[in-house]
């Protein structure tokens, strides 16, 4: 009987299966890929067992799609070996395997770094805060609380902090965990009598990174232990970074004392990426994975359909690439539309490039000023802020030159545009409410015109 699959590998395999389901037709998945089972992860090689009668066919026919989907979850260096169900699984000399449920140290994904994080208006403030924390743990913002919907980059920023501290932290200790893993280890420690070892693992760190704290709700004993862990680290000046899918105040089932601690530091939101950011994410993934495109139309087709988060974007790209691998067809807009039409049927019209005039009108609507006021020489605070935001949107999202933007705004000099962009950026960084307003306007600027009027 094969050894039990450790919890982390079981979790990773669930994610890989989700990628496979998106990459191949349902019937193909059920017949050929559903029977596969993870055996272990040795160095960068994922061992997957397949029944004898289909093993050769799976390895030959689906090797590339298995490789692509595993790499999307475990990292770009991952390879896949399809083995017999009873094959011996042992680490190579010096290697490490995730086998038999034995806990392994947290490994930060090497591709989740600040350099690889795509910055846009929806995440610029959160990125800056995370970088400041990585550079000065315990001194910049403590705790740092990042919130936003799934798949927008919260975990990427946690791993970026972890990778940065390990490289440049001068020996500072850093640990990453999820609330689910924290809970599992806490329960196991109580059952085995190893609670002191558990406390030592989590309370003796210079930086503790906690993912998905929304799952603390309604777990009374875990919440109690987490509260004491939080206090022990905070009181010694250690850095805490937390992620969540909602604001602290929206976690009604959480004890007030924890909500208050989460709100005591810096709270930064991450929203869905705008069109320009979605295109950048896709181009970076294509470059990183060495994917050969027929032309950019495939990326435009994906970016039009997938608007919610970066994870869904990359999943859609993997599906298109997998279909290309299986059929040999050219990766272009027609292939992307065909592959994704069933999962994401509402692509909407091709999105026209944002214009200076559209940026101006959005700012007028948001701040209650007329176009005449915005183009005039009036210097009231309300008009100046609206004008600066409009110039910022035009500069960041239209591709127009500074002189062209200045001419459109009443014949102003290009240095005025530079000043407006700088002032808007500074206010976004210092005023979360202003930042959220500008990011929302940027998102609307990238939508079809019909959507903006609704």
Instruction: State the angle between helix axes of 414-430 and 381-397 in degrees (0 to 180), rounded to the nearest 10.
Output: 100
Which CATH homologous superfamily contains domain 356-453?
DnaA protein, C-terminal DNA-binding domain (1.10.1750.10)
User: What are 383's two structure tokens?
Assistant: 């008009």
- Cα separation, 127 vs 117, whole angstroms: 8
Enter the tokens of residue 324.
């290309």
Q: Residue 105's pLDDT is what?
A: 42
Query: What pLDDT score does 399 carry?
Result: 62
CA proximity to 395, closest of 270, 276, 271, 268: 276
- Residue 322, classified by CB atoms within 10 Å of its CB into exposed (0-12), middle (13-18) or buried (19+), is buried
CATH of 124-269, one of 3.30.420.40, 3.40.50.300, 3.20.20.140, 3.40.50.720: 3.40.50.300
Identify the segments of the chain with pLDDT beneath 50.
1, 91-105, 349-351, 448-454
Instruction: Report whether CATH 3.30.70 matches the domain 276-340.
Output: no
Distance CA 243, CA 100 (A): 30
Q: How far is CA 399 from the centre of its chain?
A: 26
Rounded Cα–Cα distance for residues 350 and 304 (Å): 7
**Token pair listed for 434:** 């202003």
> What spatial distance separates the first Cα and last Cα of the chain, rounded to whole Å?
59
**Taking the mean position of all CA atoms in its chain, how far away is CA 143?**
20
Half-sphere exposure of 210 (CA within 13 A, CB side): 26
Cβ(149)–Cβ(443) under 8 Å?
no
Count of CB atoms situated within 10 Å of the CB of 77:
11
Q: Which helix (H) or strand (E) holds 300?
A: helix 297-305
pLDDT at residue 386, as a whole number: 95
Coil, strand, or helix at residue 321?
helix
Q: At a CB cut-off of 8 Å and minimum separation 6, what does 220 contact?
A: none
Please choose, from the candidates 173, 3, 213, the residue with its C-alpha nearest in 3D space to the C-alpha of residue 87.
Answer: 3
Task: Tell whether omega for the bond before 143 is within 30 degrees of 0, i.e. cis.
Answer: yes
What's the CA gap between 169 and 340, in Å, rounded? 43
Does an H or E element contain 46, and which? strand 45-49
The beta strand positions in 122-230, using DSSP E, are: 144-147, 174-178, 207-211
pLDDT number for residue 72: 80
In terms of residues, how long is the chain?
A: 454
Pseudo-torsion of CA 51, 57, 62, 63, nearest 10°?
80
Domain 7-83 CATH class label: alpha beta
Q: How far apart are CA 188 and CA 201, in angstroms?
A: 14
Q: Report the pLDDT value the prediction gives residue 395, as an integer from 0 to 100.
A: 84
Residue listed under structure tokens 């799934």: 150
Cα separation, 147 vs 165, in Å, equals 22
Please state the domain extents for the chain.
7-83, 124-269, 276-340, 356-453
């Amino acid at each position: 009987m094969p050894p039990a699959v450790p919890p982390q590998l079981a979790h990773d395999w669930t994610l890989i299966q989700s990628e496979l389901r998106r990459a191949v037709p349902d019937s193909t998945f059920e017949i050929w890929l559903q029977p596969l089972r993870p055996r272990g992860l040795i160095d960068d090689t994922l061992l997957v067992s397949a029944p004898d009668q289909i093993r050769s066919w799976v390895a030959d026919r689906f090797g590339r799609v298995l490789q692509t989907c595993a790499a999307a979850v475990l990292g770009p260096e991952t390879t896949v070996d399809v083995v017999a169900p009873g094959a011996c699984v042992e680490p190579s000399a010096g290697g490490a395997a995730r086998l038999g449920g034995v806990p392994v140290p947290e490994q930060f994904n090497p591709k989740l770094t600040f350099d690889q994080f795509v910055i846009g208006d929806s995440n610029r403030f959160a990125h800056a805060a995370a970088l400041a924390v990585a550079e000065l743990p315990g001194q910049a913002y403590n705790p740092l609380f990042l919130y936003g919907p799934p798949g927008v980059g919260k975990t990427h920023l946690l791993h970026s902090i972890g990778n940065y501290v390990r490289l440049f932290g001068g020996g500072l200790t850093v640990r990453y965990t999820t609330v689910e893993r924290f809970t599992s280890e806490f329960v196991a420690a109580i059952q085995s009598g190893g609670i002191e070892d558990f406390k030592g693992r989590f309370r003796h760190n210079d930086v503790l990174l906690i993912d998905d704290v929304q799952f603390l709700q309604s777990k009374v004993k875990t919440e109690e232990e987490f509260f004491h862990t939080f206090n022990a680290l905070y009181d010694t000046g250690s850095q805490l970074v937390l992620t969540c899918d909602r604001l602290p105040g929206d976690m009604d089932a959480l004890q007030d004392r924890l909500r208050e601690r989460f709100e005591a530091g810096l709270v930064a939101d991450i929203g869905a990426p705008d069109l320009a950011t979605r295109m950048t994410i896709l181009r970076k993934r294509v470059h990183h994975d060495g994917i050969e495109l027929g032309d950019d139309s495939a990326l435009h087709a994906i970016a039009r359909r997938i608007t919610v988060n970066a994870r869904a974007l990359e999943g859609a790209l993997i599906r298109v690439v997998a279909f290309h691998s299986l059929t040999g067809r050219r990766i272009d807009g027609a292939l992307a539309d065909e592959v994704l039409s069933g999962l994401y049927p509402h692509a909407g019209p091709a999105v026209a490039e944002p214009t200076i005039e559209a940026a101006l009108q959005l700012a007028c609507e948001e701040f209650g000023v007329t176009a005449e006021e915005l183009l005039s020489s009036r210097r009231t605070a309300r008009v100046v802020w609206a004008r600066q935001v409009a110039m910022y949107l035009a500069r960041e999202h239209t591709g127009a030159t500074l002189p062209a933007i200045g001419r459109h705004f009443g014949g102003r000099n290009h240095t005025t545009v530079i000043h407006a962009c700088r002032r808007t950026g500074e206010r976004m960084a210092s005023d979360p409410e202003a930042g959220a307003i500008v990011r929302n306007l940027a998102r609307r600027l990238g939508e079809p015109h019909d959507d903006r009027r609704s």
